[in-house]
Amino acid sequence: MATQWKPLIEKITSELVKSLLVAAWFMFLTFPLMVIRVHPLERTIEWRWMNMIYVGVGSFFLSFIWRYLMERKDGGNSKEEGDTWQKRVGLRIRSDKRISLSGLIAIGIFIFIFPFIFSSYQTQIMITALMYVMLGLGLNIVVGLAGLLDLGYVAFYAVGAYCYALLNHHFGLSFWMALPLSGALAATFGILLGFPVLRLRGDYLAIVTLGFGEIIRLILENWNEFSFGPSGIAGISRPGFFGMELSLQEHTVYLYFIMIMLVVLTVLVVSRLRNSRIGRAWIALREDEVACQAMGIDKTKTKLTAFALGATWAGLVGCIFAAKTTFINPASFTFMESAMILSIVVLGGMGSIVGVILGAFVLILLPEYLRAFSEYRMLAFGAAMVIIMVFRPQGIITGIRQRYEFHRNTQKGKAR
């Protein structure tokens, strides 16, 4: 009987020892941050030893649970990949595309009354989240559909913002006149970026696009005669409403509804693009570039279209950002913005419209509502990204391709 339980006891003992080592390592790493607190004014040091115990106990149990889940994942105890919960839900959605009328009405009513039942601060947060939804959907064209890793997407965002800011500052151009110009100028920059990187892919493409984003930021920061340098541009006009004078609260509500309309438009356009001829060419380019070219698809045109259309949405959001804040400077367009937008696409699910929307709301709204844990927000953010990448590498919601099935009616001998 003892020999029967011996392998299990040895395995549990081995796992406990590994968890203890992980706990000790985490306690060592977090010692300066979690235990030592220096009060410079009082010239005292506070030793928080209870935090050390919390870190040790928490990392011990989390390590144990982590290895158990990884063993289940690698051992195949879960269901087959083709029968995951997300795919089952997706298939149900595909089989019945009709959403109940009552659900649509409830969502519509909530969207309409949101700025009237919540504070101006909550409405501003929602506007920011909707802006990142548009940015995520725009980058989803380049990264999710075409498979082109773009780390300089914030450059197009900056082009759109400075286009409206400079036109408004020098020529008094209104928001509605500058909005399409910002999108068009950003699309032009997208084409200019696309030409030099046509032969690049993977890490090399990422490095070039990252350099392009930094070049744009440095130009805006150092070309004082053109962009006013680090001082930025202030006094940018907010969106107008038939010449009426609006208060700050009314402008916030007005901008909220503008964002709702633009997000709906973006979802419709991106969904139609994904299922169009060019969308299927993007997906073919992402899967196998050589096979895509062998099938007669113009690789140059396909890549340039992806860069141009993705940049267009960034330019539109940049114009909205300038109108929302009424002040911009190069510090608003750093690499961290590109990383955040890329994280939204990867976390939500590359190629998935619903996933990108959900990822934007998770990454933008949660940090605002978890300000009580502001000291550990980045730690929680990093841990969440690691967990998602390990257990859901395809994202929260995977993009589901449309499938067409041919059924033959054997009784009548006709196809249907």
Nearest C-alpha neighbor of 137 from the set 292, 31, 230, 259: 259
Calculate the average pLDDT of the chain: 81
Whether the pLDDT of residue 80 is over 70: the answer is no
Tell me how far apart the alpha carbons of residues 69 and 15 are, in angstroms, rounded to a whole number: 13
| Least confident interval from 154-163, 249-258, 290-299, 317-326 | 290-299
| Least confident interval from 47-56, 166-175, 218-227 | 47-56
Question: What CA dihedral angle connects 219, 225, 227 and 233, to 10 degrees?
Answer: 150
Would you place residue 75 in the very low, low, confident or very high pLDDT band (cuts 50, 70, 90)?
Answer: low
| Least confident interval from 79-88, 111-120, 150-159, 306-315 | 79-88
Please give the pLDDT value at position 185.
94
- The answer to whether the beta carbons of residues 270 and 134 sit under 8 Å apart is no
DSSP strands (E only) in 248-288 = none
Would you place residue 248 in the very low, low, confident or very high pLDDT band (cuts 50, 70, 90)?
Answer: confident
pLDDT in tens, 367-377: 777 666 666 66
- The DSSP annotation for 170-223 comes to HH---HHHHHHHHHHHHHHHHHHHHTTTTT--THHHHHHHHHHHHHHHHHHHH-
Q: Where are the domains of the chain?
A: 10-74, 100-391
Whether the pLDDT of residue 93 is over 50: the answer is no
Residue 340 to residues 35, 157, 269, 345, 381, Cα–Cα distance (Å) = 30, 13, 23, 9, 11
Please give the pLDDT value at position 183.
93
Tell me how far apart the alpha carbons of residues 231 and 166 are, in angstroms, rounded to a whole number: 14
Range picked from 44-53, 94-103, 317-326, 406-415 for highest mean pLDDT: 317-326
As a residue count, the chain comes to: 416
Q: Around Cβ 289, how many Cβ atoms within 10 Å?
A: 16
Percent of the chain with pLDDT over 70: 85
Would you place residue 400 in the very low, low, confident or very high pLDDT band (cuts 50, 70, 90)?
Answer: low
pLDDT in tens, 168-220: 988 888 899 999 999 999 999 999 888 888 887 778 888 888 898 899 999 99
Please give the pLDDT value at position 98.
46
- The answer to whether the beta carbons of residues 379 and 59 sit under 8 Å apart is no
Tell me how far apart the alpha carbons of residues 319 and 364 are, in angstroms, rounded to a whole number: 19
Tell me how far apart the alpha carbons of residues 268 and 256 are, in angstroms, rounded to a whole number: 19
Measured in degrees and rounded to the nearest 5, phi and psi for residue 36 equal -90, 125
Tell me how far apart the alpha carbons of residues 71 and 123 are, in angstroms, rounded to a whole number: 44
Percent of the chain with pLDDT over 90: 21
Please give the pLDDT value at position 77.
46
Burial class for 39, CB neighbours closer than 10 Å (0-12, 13-18, 19+) = exposed
Q: Directed axis angle between helix 101-117 and helix 248-274, to 10°?
A: 150
